[in-house]
Amino acid sequence: MTSHHPQEDLLLSYSAGALGESWSLPVACHLAYCPECRDDVSAADEIGGLLLEDSTVESLSPSALGNVLSQLDKVVELEAPKLIPRTSALPSPLREYVSSDIDLIPWKSIGRGTYQCLIATGDSDQARLLRIPAGKPVPEHGHRGRELTLVLRGSFSDQNGEFSCGDLQDVDEDITHQPYAGMNEDCICLAVTDASLKFTNLMPRLVQPFINF
CATH of the domain at 182: 2.60.120.10
Angle between helices 8-16 and 21-33 (to 10 degrees): 110
The closest alpha carbon to 196, from 130, 125, 114, belongs to 125
Structure confidence by residue, pLDDT tens digits, 19-57? 999 999 999 999 999 999 999 999 988 876 555 555 455
Domain limits for position 200: 100-210
What pLDDT shows up at residue 160? Answer: 93
What pLDDT shows up at residue 76? Answer: 39
Pair 146, 172: CB distance under 8 Å: yes
Q: With respect to residue 173, please indicate whether it lies within any of the assigned structural domains.
A: yes
Structure confidence by residue, pLDDT tens digits, 154-187? 999 999 999 999 999 999 999 999 999 999 999 9
How many CB atoms lie under 10 A from the CB of residue 205?
Answer: 15
Domain count along the chain: 1
Pair 37, 6: CB distance under 8 Å: yes
Q: With respect to residue 71, please indicate whether it lies within any of the assigned structural domains.
A: no
Mean pLDDT value of segment 67-81: 47
CA distance 165 to 3: 10
Q: With respect to residue 157, please indicate whether it lies within any of the assigned structural domains.
A: yes
What pLDDT shows up at residue 197? Answer: 87
pLDDT band at 90 (very low <50, low <70, confident <90, very high): confident
CA distance 163 to 118: 22
Q: With respect to residue 188, please indicate whether it lies within any of the assigned structural domains.
A: yes
